[in-house]
Amino acid sequence: MINYLTRDLIIHLIVFQLVQLVVILSNLAVLHRSRRHAYPDELPKVSILVPARNEEQNVGRCIESLLAHDYPSFEVLVLDDQSTDGTLAILRQMAESQPKLKVLTGSAPPKDQSGKNWACSQLASQAQGDLFLFTDADTVHQPQTLSEIVTALMGEQADLLIGFPRQEVHSWTEKLLVPFFTWASLSFIPLWLAYRVRSQALVAAVGQMMLFRREAYQEIGGHAALGITIVDDLTLAKKIKSAGMRWRVTRVSDLISCRMYQDGWEAIQGFTKNLFAAFDFHILSYLFVFLWLAIQYLTPLIVLVSLAFGKAPNARIGELAFCIGLSLLLWAIVYQETGIPLNLVFLYPLTILANVVVALRSLFFSMTGRLTWKDRSLATPKWKWF
């Protein structure tokens, strides 16, 4: 067993990482190709829909960037989701001088709806556009964003277009947790295959940028059909896919940035809410994935230290160096593409450890009914073994 762990396993990890490298490179090619379509002759009206709950630190900058779009026909609808801070006052003041901005005051969610799903349902019911762009109040958009993503959606003939914004990370906890979800999506979901099969396992989404055709959104029931679902973005993408419609991913890290969480503790809470939910509360597959990630990225380092102390005589320094170098390359490519500081690549073992710990926290909090978000308790999910 020791011989396998210190030699054969390293070879197997190298093979796995080479496959992962192919997946990443093919995904980047897909993302870039979707931005190469010619601008259409006619651009449809877009409704930009922003749910906002206690976002006084972010909402002004976000809405200013949305109103600055160089797009011929759009509206911005923002719903204040019962904020207890100054969010609503900021929005109302901005709306006084911005005819394209409409501010809605949200009502309390019914018992069969989560807060965000209900907020987004209220927004969609007031939208007038042919396309719906759902985005978060902590995002910032470049003026050309709408033109680029609408062109990509129409060029790809998609019903749903998603993209991974550039993530701003400030605290050390954010630096270790936040880049993980984009890295994982681009590393393990081969888009060229995901587009061609109906498997719900091969789908990705991020609520910071979801551009729907109005008819497609309504056909799947929109957010109103999600009930108490926690991970709304992934569930909507799965619904689009299961309905036989087209979902596509495009490059937006040069167009949209986002500070997903305002501090390290909020990042822990956010990932506690989302990680287990992203696996639809399937325990064994969830544990297997995070165990495998720990094996893949921590074992070579453990073996290297063991070799230095003469405890792994069958290990080969060249194989270990190649394996660890591949790991650095896999993280570096994704970080470079998505605008994450490259010096964080060298912290990938800590990134894995941090996400494993929060993944276990997510499992525990979900199964014990202790999930909360923005001062609201979330329903205890129904978990499954398989």
What is the reported pTM? 0.94
Closest CA to 301 of 321, 318, 316: 321
Q: What confidence score (pLDDT) does residue 112 get?
A: 86
Closest CA to 83 of 46, 64, 55: 55
User: Could you tell me which residues come within 8 angstroms of residue 206 by beta carbon, excluding any fewer than 6 positions away?
Assistant: 162, 163, 164, 165, 181, 182, 185, 233
User: Could you tell me which residues come within 8 angstroms of residue 76 by beta carbon, excluding any fewer than 6 positions away?
Assistant: 48, 50, 63, 66, 67, 98, 100, 101, 102
Residue 354: HSE in the Cβ half-sphere, 13 Å Cα cutoff: 21
In angstroms, the CA 379 to CA 233 distance is: 18
Average pLDDT score over residue span 87-95: 95
Between 207 and 310, whose confidence is greater?
207
Instruction: Report the helix count and the strand count for the chain, using DSSP H and E.
Output: 15, 12
Chain segment 7-44, per-residue pLDDT in tens: 789 999 999 999 999 999 999 999 999 999 999 989 99
How far, CA to CA in Å, does 33 sit from each of 290, 299, 379? 31, 36, 40
Closest CA to 206 of 242, 179, 224, 226: 179
Q: What confidence score (pLDDT) does residue 376 get?
A: 80
Q: Which amino acid is at 267?
A: A
Domains observed in the chain: 2-26+279-377 (no CATH), 34-165+206-262 (3.90.550.10)
In angstroms, the CA 138 to CA 87 distance is: 12
**What's CA 238's distance to the chain center, in Å?**
14
In angstroms, the CA 110 to CA 227 distance is: 9
Per DSSP, helices labelled H in the chain are: 2-3, 9-33, 59-67, 87-95, 115-126, 145-155, 172-177, 179-188, 191-194, 214-219, 232-242, 264-278, 283-308, 317-338, 348-367
Average pLDDT score over residue span 366-376: 86
Average pLDDT score over residue span 106-129: 93
Indicate the pLDDT class of residue 273, thresholds 50, 70 and 90: very high
Q: What confidence score (pLDDT) does residue 374 get?
A: 80
Indicate the pLDDT class of residue 1, thresholds 50, 70 and 90: low
Q: Is the per-residue pLDDT at 372 higher than 90?
A: no
Average pLDDT, the chain: 94
Q: Inter-axis angle of helices 179-188 and 348-367, to 10 degrees?
A: 100
Q: What confidence score (pLDDT) does residue 2 get?
A: 67
Closest CA to 256 of 158, 172, 93, 144: 144
Q: What confidence score (pLDDT) does residue 237 get?
A: 96
In angstroms, the CA 24 to CA 20 distance is: 6
Chain segment 318-356, per-residue pLDDT in tens: 999 999 999 999 999 999 999 999 999 999 999 999 999
Q: Is the per-residue pLDDT at 173 higher than 90?
A: yes
Q: What confidence score (pLDDT) does residue 201 get?
A: 85
Chain segment 122-162, per-residue pLDDT in tens: 999 999 999 999 999 999 999 999 999 999 999 999 999 99
Q: What confidence score (pLDDT) does residue 272 get?
A: 95
**What's CA 32's distance to the chain center, in Å?**
18
Q: 3-class SS at 262? A: coil
Q: What confidence score (pLDDT) does residue 375 get?
A: 78
Indicate the pLDDT class of residue 294, thresholds 50, 70 and 90: very high
User: Could you tell me which residues come within 8 angstroms of residue 307 by beta carbon, excluding any fewer than 6 positions away?
Assistant: 6, 315, 317, 320
DSSP percent split of the chain into helix, strand, coil, nearest 5: 55, 15, 35
Indicate the pLDDT class of residue 267, thresholds 50, 70 and 90: very high
Between 151 and 4, whose confidence is greater?
151
Q: Is the per-residue pLDDT at 57 higher than 80?
A: yes
Residue 262: how many other CB atoms lie within 10 Å: 15
Q: What confidence score (pLDDT) does residue 4 get?
A: 72
Give the number of residues written for the chain: 386
